Chains A and B, each alone.
Chain A
Amino acid sequence: MSRRPLGPVLLSVRGVTRVHGTGTTAVRALDGVDLDVRLGELVAVMGASGSGKSTLLNIAGGLDTPTSGTVVLAGDELSGLDVKARARLRRRSVGYVFQDFNLIPALTAAENVSLPRELDGVRVRAARREALAALDEVGVADLADRFPDELSGGQQQRVAIARALVGPRRLVLADEPTGALDSATGEDVMRVLRARIDAGAAGLLVTHEPRFAAWADRTVFVRDGVVVDGTGYAAGPESLLASGVR
């Protein structure tokens, strides 16, 4: 992953607070969170369970709405859109990758990837062409006509990454994408995700495994709904050279 300069901000979360419930039983899942994700950037979010990291992911993708604060996705402020427009923006701009892959079992790998494009209104043949290109980018072009249960976990997750970023989608929200994979396969998947983001996308990664968060450009730590710290942008391998590691 050569460090190209990062692109423009694709996702901007500003002063986002999310309160569940009201009165004395109200719980602040998020409390005044600011976070920017730029094109070409992968940001990891870490925190104990209940820290608010999943809520942050859901709000970033427009699946949940903040109680206050703003979310700007690809230049559009989500709260300024009506339900229909928000759903359209979410569908066309955001892809999801889950721990359990969530491919549709009755569809082949290529059909799983082309489905979102067909929903976008793209004709079947063109959608398939795009799907094959997307599968090629994640290294599983030869598995296009297999069904999910004929694929290993690592292969399924590659298909899910292809699906998340097919067509115009530039933001991938990954919720524990390596959670169901062994260590070496998990690393392969992170390498693929990293490469896709370097090629012109952005990602928000929730994980409880530091080893996989380390594939991100930076990690932010969430505790009790607040971003308490972050690694910032790394100085890069030069700092390691200076300290004696190659």
Chain B
Amino acid sequence: MSVRQGLLALLAETPMHAYQMRQQFEHRTGGTWPLNMGQVSTTLDRLVRDGLVEPADTADADAEVQRYHLTAAGRDELATWWATPVVRSTPARDELSIKLALAVSAPGVDVRTIVQAQRTETMRAMTDLTRLKADLPASGWSSEDLAWSLVLDHLVFAAEAEVRWLDHVESRVARAAAEGGTSDETAVSRRAAATARATAATAAASGGAR
């Protein structure tokens, strides 16, 4: 879970207290993923339990809040995180792909209309995201500006992938309609098995690295 590694990454730079971690996490990711203090303290408790983080000695007796720093094991864990690609094995249950998968076989549903409505909506979201990007200065970015723009880019590229996929769906459906589509139960079970195999293979391949 990325909050856990995110806190490790922050603590590697300097000891912090919980509130600072929350602030820094939000600031450095452009506020895209707000955290509540409950999430921070729960995560922090687990990190301490697992021996990755420990309370820092407080030289200043007046300090009201406890600061934390990384242990050697915490540094190892963080190094592993930087070095390991994020696993993309099990596809998340995505409403849009479920909706379109059902739509192609549902009677009386016009897939083209669904595709166009979604394309417009996704394009609208992309336009809003791009406007936030455009508000950044043309040059002379701080590292926070860069971090924020990269987070926005991630959302923009993901939205773009969705639009491209919708284009693909549209042309596939048009072609299938021209050829006269069929519904085939054995094809369905064959595909389910293939998906399960692919997922298992990816998980196994990534398992060794974890």
Contacts of B157 in A (CB 8 A): 211
- Apart from A3-B131, A139-B138, A213-B123, what 10 extra A-B contacts exist at CB < 8 Å? A210-B163, A210-B164, A211-B157, A214-B130, A216-B127, A219-B127, A228-B116, A229-B117, A245-B32, A245-B129
In the complex, are the beta carbons of A237 and B132 less than 8 A apart? yes
Bound Cα distance from A25 to B153, whole angstroms: 45
Is A147 on the interface with B (CB-CB < 8 A)? no
Q: How far is the CB of B34 from chain A (nearest CB, A)?
A: 6
Which residue of the partner chain, among A213, A216, A240, contacts B129 with CB atoms under 8 Å? A240
Q: How far is the CB of B124 from chain A (nearest CB, A)?
A: 4
In the complex, are the beta carbons of A221 and B120 less than 8 A apart? yes
Is B159 on the interface with A (CB-CB < 8 A)? yes
- B-facing mask of A199-232, CB < 8 A → 1, else 0? 0000000000111011111110100000011111
In the complex, are the beta carbons of A218 and B129 less than 8 A apart? no
Contacts of B117 in A (CB 8 A): 229
Is B15 on the interface with A (CB-CB < 8 A)? no
Bound Cα distance from A98 to B32, whole angstroms: 36
Which residue of the partner chain, among A1, A139, A195, A244, contacts B131 with CB atoms under 8 Å? A1
Contacts of A195 in B (CB 8 A): 138
Bound Cα distance from A194 to B163, whole angstroms: 22
Q: How far is the CB of B3 from chain A (nearest CB, A)?
A: 15
Binding site for A on B (CB under 8 A): 30-32, 34, 116-117, 119-120, 122-124, 126-132, 134-135, 138, 148, 155-157, 159-160, 163-164, 167, 171
Interchain Cβ contacts under 8 Å between A and B, 8 examples: A209-B160, A210-B122, A211-B156, A216-B127, A219-B123, A230-B120, A236-B128, A245-B32
Is A234 on the interface with B (CB-CB < 8 A)? yes
Q: How far is the CB of A196 from chain B (nearest CB, A)?
A: 12
Q: How far is the CB of B179 from chain A (nearest CB, A)?
A: 19
Is A246 on the interface with B (CB-CB < 8 A)? yes
Bound Cα distance from A211 to B128, whole angstroms: 12
- B-facing mask of A39-71, CB < 8 A → 1, else 0? 000000010100000000000000000000000
Binding site for B on A (CB under 8 A): 1-3, 46, 48, 139, 191, 194-195, 209-211, 213-219, 221, 228-232, 234-237, 239-240, 244-246
In the complex, are the beta carbons of A221 and B119 less than 8 A apart? yes
Bound Cα distance from A198 to B204, whole angstroms: 52
Bound Cα distance from A210 to B160, whole angstroms: 6
In the complex, are the beta carbons of B163 and A239 less than 8 A apart? no
Assess A229 versus B120: contact at CB under 8 Å? Given A214-B130, A216-B127, A236-B131. Answer: yes
Contacts of A230 in B (CB 8 A): 120
Assess A221 versus B116: contact at CB under 8 Å? Given A215-B134, A245-B32. Answer: yes
In the complex, are the beta carbons of B127 and A218 less than 8 A apart? yes
In the complex, are the beta carbons of B135 and A231 less than 8 A apart? no
Bound Cα distance from A195 to B138, whole angstroms: 10
Q: How far is the CB of A102 from chain B (nearest CB, A)?
A: 25
